[in-house]
Amino acid sequence: MAPSSPRSDKELSLGALAQVVGYHLAQATVAATAAYERHIGEPLGLRKVEFSLLMLLLANGPTPPKRLSQTLALTAPALTVLIDRLERRGLVRRQRNPQDGRSQHIVLTEAGSKLSRHAAKTAPSLESAASARLSRAEHAMLIELLCKMAGRTAP
């Protein structure tokens, strides 16, 4: 069977890719990453994983590193590098767990708390830019489906 011809000078036929979820996720990631960089990454100097960790600490308070690594799907060494980097920037610190002095919690510093609150206030404009072509229902459904694909429960 001959391959179908392109629909225009710019648009190629996707062929089998039209039904490949990973391809569409990758394409959506390009748009979402560009929106992230415009709204949070460049203005606040935060990588996506740094933003995610700060938002988790803002929402949950002092958190054991193991819980952070599980939620962010990071290995313990990768999380250590991330925490070290944020610690050098004065955004987080390690604190002894008051219930068990053998373990630690990761906590926001005052500067980290201020930056996190600012980033959280910026997040809605990021979401608006990232999902401008979706209705509210489609946005909620997309989050639900992505969580399902990741094996997590939707928020």
Angle of the 21-36 helix axis to the 110-130 helix axis, nearest 10: 120
Separation of CA 104 from chain center: 24
Non-local CB neighbours of 15 within 8 Å, separated by 6+ positions:
3, 4
Global pTM value:
0.82
Q: Are strands 92-96 and 104-108 parallel, antiparallel or unpaired?
A: antiparallel
| For range 128-149, the mean pLDDT | 88
Residue range 26-147 in CATH 3.40.1160.10: no
Q: What percent of the chain has pLDDT over 90?
A: 66
Model pLDDT for residues 98-135, shown as the tens digit of each residue: 777 778 999 999 999 999 999 999 999 888 877 888 88
- Answer yes or no: is pLDDT of 63 > 60: yes
Residue extents of the structural domains in the chain: 26-147
Beta bridge partners of 94: 106
| For range 8-27, the mean pLDDT | 87
